[in-house]
Amino acid sequence: MLTGDGAVGNQAFDPGADEILSSPVFGAGLPPEAERHLREAALTYHLDDVAEQHLFEARRIAPTHVAVLIGLYRFYFYKTRLEETLEIAKSCLTRAAIDNSLPLDWREVRPGDANFASYDAVLPRFFMFVLKGYAYLQLRLGEYAEGREAANKLLELDPTDKVGATLLISVLDGMEAEDVD
- For residue 138, what pLDDT is reported? 96
Q: Which residue has the higher pLDDT, 181 or 79?
A: 79
- For residue 143, what pLDDT is reported? 95
Q: Do residues 106 and 138 make contact, with C-beta atoms less than 8 angstroms apart?
A: no
Residue 147: name the closest of 26, 16, 13, 52 by CA.
13
For residue 131, the enclosing domain spans: 7-29+65-180
In a domain, 55, yes or no: no
Alpha-helical segments (H) within 62-164: 66-78, 82-99, 122-140, 144-157
> Please, which residues bridge with residue 8 across strands?
2, 11
- For residue 104, what pLDDT is reported? 97
- For residue 25, what pLDDT is reported? 55
In a domain, 44, yes or no: no
Please compute the mean of the pLDDT values over residues 3-29 and round it to a whole number. Answer: 47
In a domain, 56, yes or no: no
In a domain, 16, yes or no: yes
**pTM summary value:** 0.83
Number of domains forming the structure of the chain: 1
In a domain, 50, yes or no: no
89 vs 153: CA distance, rounded Å: 16
- Is residue 8 predicted with pLDDT exceeding 60? no
In a domain, 35, yes or no: no
The long-range contacts involving 153-160, CB below 8 angstroms and separated by at least 24 positions, are 153/106, 153/107, 153/109, 154/128, 156/111, 157/109, 157/111, 157/116, 157/128, 157/131, 158/116, 158/117, 158/128, 159/111, 160/117
In a domain, 109, yes or no: yes
Tell me the per-residue pLDDT of 116-164, one tens digit each, with 9 for 90 and over: 998 889 999 999 999 999 999 999 999 999 999 999 999 999 999 999 9
In a domain, 60, yes or no: no
